[in-house]
Structure 1
Amino acid sequence: MFSKGLKNTLKLALGACIVGTSVAAADFPTRDIRLIVPWPAGGGADAISRKISNIAEQDLPKSIYVENIAGAVTATGLVQMTSARPDGHTLGVLTYDSVITLPRGQMVPGYGLENMKLIARITSEADAIVVSKHSGINTFEELVEKAKANPGKVRVGVAPKGSGPYLSAYQLESLLDVDFNVITYAGSSSAEAEALLSGELDAAISSLGDFSGIIESGDAKGVIELTSVQNMTYTDVPTISSKGYDLQTGSFIVLAAPKGTPDEAVEVIESAFKTAYDSEEFQSWLAQVGVTPDWLGSDEVNGWVDALQEKTFSLMDDLNL
């Protein structure tokens, strides 16, 4: 049995711990928050991350600064994120490759979702086929017709092997009974945009938001979106389901922190980003660039990732990838 004096001492110590935790949570963040974007500046993930963090920091006592650390299909930046002190002051952005390509390939030692604490999904974007103005293609039907007439000749740019757009290209070949010349590009979609501009590519697969700049300039045109839901920003781009095909592929933005980050810090971060997500400024901006707002909080995002991996890995098994 504990003595009365020892009991009182334990109560005081426990009370001090509770007060200390509350104070720590109330004080977070104590310095600027580093948000690692594992892609080069200028791509869609970078733009979305910068926009929402600029708004989110208005709800915090400290700033959020974005750092682009590209390489190893997002692993270079995200390994740095998971190696940081788990105190909420370092965050990272996950995309399709972070959730699917890297775990599937197990190619980067030290990388794994088990080393992360997922906070929220912010956006989702359907893949789309965008054609260069140099290609002479103006519609989805013309793309299919040209590919059938010229097997292996229509040049379609995608992200590296195993990526979402890469899988989309091969699913499209099977669905449409065509044979593309599929060309992979490392890095963000900006490399494919440059290839479309120069005429190096006839078409590319990524989100319409990723190619918004060259679409607006008239240098490229979206001819189909791989979804069943009409994009309300690009209303002139039909869905593939409207053409009688069933195919839905795309990417997303997920916010994460290192494993072990305190729940109190995660709550503060999630709250600030949800407020930014709900803001008229962010929603209007997403509509302008053609990206779909698609929030899932910390209570739901892990289950969604698990289901996505199960479905996608099964497809990759079928394609021997």
Structure 2
Amino acid sequence: MPTHKLINRMACFIGASLLASSAIAADFPQRDIRLIVPWAAGGGTDGISRKISNIAEQSLPVSIYAENISGAVSATGLTQLMRSRPDGHTLSVLTYDSVITVPRSELVPGYSLDKMTPIARITQEADAIVASKQSGIESLDELIETAKAKPGTVRIGVMPEGSGPYLAARRLENMTGADFNIITYPGAAAAESEALLSGEIDAAIASLGDFAGLIESGDVQGLVELSSEQNPTYPDVPPISEGGIDLESGSFIVLVAPANTPEDTIQTLESAYQEAFESDEFQQWVSNIGVTPSWLGSDEVGDWMLARQEQVFALMDELEL
């Protein structure tokens, strides 16, 4: 076959493939969308992801259904996302550990943020220190003084080593001279909630939203939020800056799709979730659970995640973690 004819056929084939891809993207979505929540059911990430998705699906001709796939500090569920077809029909969410802990540990072969396409940041939330009612601890000062007077006796539950709450506990020790018994729990804050109720730990670090039910029931008291601003949902829980301590820590939720998902598909998803984010229903709901709604679109969220990762990695180097 003459070379020019072969080239023409190849060009036609490539053109047809591009047109087919464009048609698929234009027809998106073609079936229900699967949202992988890489944490156990019942935690703050699970609740927020489900709520905003339930609202977002109202802007789409299909449903969005959530599936909890926990393990490996969120990497198990996200590995499934990375292996999914990049057609927009499988999504997931990133939290602090997905962006910081897992990449830092390098213990999950093939895990990479480069294999995901960020769609939007939905929330930011400060971590907080809470204490169980049965511990008898009613303030941050009391927590610190007890840990200084009786080293190793105040049991604080946090997520695994390298997580934001773990770093916050270590930094608080360094800043105040306290000596905590730091106990790590894999998974979301649900495990820490159970430990607080059973008396296994005296205090825990996660967001106030994660402990909303226990705070409302009176089983747990918020001592301080690791922030420089007062949380209006919890006016009785002061920011740590009021005590003269410069310690801020917190997580976030970022919606992602597999890498190489068509741009038109990403824009469709971003539009649906932004409409849900801006709805009165979501704004009121998320504020009621003490979480800060915080939107960043697909044009900005990737750079924001990389900057956050660089900042925290520098802190971990300083603490030799």
Q: TM-score when scaled to structure 1? A: 0.94
The aligned residue for residue 104 of structure 1 is 104
Amino acid paired to 1:290: G
Give the 3-state SS of the residue equivalent to 2:100 in structure 1. helix
Give the 3-state SS of the residue equivalent to 1:81 in structure 2. helix
Give the 3-state SS of the residue equivalent to 2:230 in structure 1. coil
Query: 1:7-64 CA distances to partner (integer Å, 9 max, x unpaired)?
Result: xx99999997787566434421000000000001001100000000000000000000
The aligned residue for residue 250 of structure 1 is 250
CA distance in 2, matches of 1:22, 1:201: 55
CA distance in 2, matches of 1:91, 1:172: 36
CA distance in 1, matches of 2:103, 2:15: 43
The aligned residue for residue 160 of structure 1 is 160
Asked if 1:83 corresponds to 2:116, the answer is no
Give the superposition deviation at 1:269. 0.4
Amino acid paired to 1:113: L
The aligned residue for residue 60 of structure 1 is 60
The aligned residue for residue 185 of structure 1 is 185
Gaps of 5+ in 1: 1-8
Deviates more, 1:134-143 or 1:37-46: 134-143
The aligned residue for residue 27 of structure 1 is 27
Amino acid paired to 1:144: I
CA distance in 2, matches of 1:310, 1:137: 35
CA distance in 1, matches of 2:314, 2:256: 25
The answer on whether the counterparts of 2:123 and 2:294 sit within 8 Å (CA) in structure 1 is: yes
The answer on whether the counterparts of 2:145 and 2:178 sit within 8 Å (CA) in structure 1 is: no
- Structure 1 stretches of 4+ with a deviation exceeding 6 A read 9-19
The aligned residue for residue 135 of structure 1 is 135
Amino acid paired to 1:111: Y
The aligned residue for residue 221 of structure 2 is 221
CA distance in 2, matches of 1:263, 1:292: 28
Query: 1:233-265 CA distances to partner (integer Å, 9 max, x unpaired)?
Result: 011100001111111111110110111100010
The aligned residue for residue 145 of structure 1 is 145
CA distance in 1, matches of 2:226, 2:11: 60
Give the 3-state SS of the residue equivalent to 1:119 in structure 2. strand
CA distance in 2, matches of 1:121, 1:140: 31
The aligned residue for residue 121 of structure 1 is 121
| Number of positions where the alignment pairs a residue of Structure 1 with one of Structure 2 | 317
Amino acid paired to 2:136: G
CA distance in 1, matches of 2:193, 2:20: 51
CA distance in 1, matches of 2:243, 2:135: 22
Amino acid paired to 1:105: S
Give the 3-state SS of the residue equivalent to 2:42 in structure 1. coil
CA distance in 2, matches of 1:194, 1:14: 57
The answer on whether the counterparts of 2:25 and 2:87 sit within 8 Å (CA) in structure 1 is: no
Amino acid paired to 2:198: S
Give the 3-state SS of the residue equivalent to 1:209 in structure 2. helix
Deviates more, 1:20-29 or 1:31-40: 20-29
Give the 3-state SS of the residue equivalent to 1:67 in structure 2. strand
CA distance in 2, matches of 1:69, 1:190: 15
Gaps of 5+ in 2: 1-8
The aligned residue for residue 315 of structure 1 is 315
The aligned residue for residue 202 of structure 1 is 202
The answer on whether the counterparts of 2:119 and 2:256 sit within 8 Å (CA) in structure 1 is: yes
Change (3 A) 1:105 1:12: closer
Change (3 A) 1:98 1:153: same
The answer on whether the counterparts of 2:209 and 2:289 sit within 8 Å (CA) in structure 1 is: yes
The aligned residue for residue 286 of structure 1 is 286
Percent of pairs with identical residues: 63
Amino acid paired to 1:251: S
Change (3 A) 1:263 1:178: same
Query: 1:189-246 CA distances to partner (integer Å, 9 max, x unpaired)?
Result: 0010011111111100000000101011000010100010111101110000111111
The aligned residue for residue 5 of structure 2 is none
CA distance in 1, matches of 2:191, 2:182: 15
The answer on whether the counterparts of 2:35 and 2:90 sit within 8 Å (CA) in structure 1 is: yes
Q: What RMSD in Å do the two structures reach over aligned CA positions?
A: 2.1
Give the superposition deviation at 1:143. 1.3
CA distance in 2, matches of 1:68, 1:287: 24
Deviates more, 1:142-151 or 1:246-255: 142-151
The aligned residue for residue 271 of structure 1 is 271
Give the 3-state SS of the residue equivalent to 1:282 in structure 2. helix
CA distance in 2, matches of 1:17, 1:137: 65
CA distance in 1, matches of 2:21, 2:96: 35
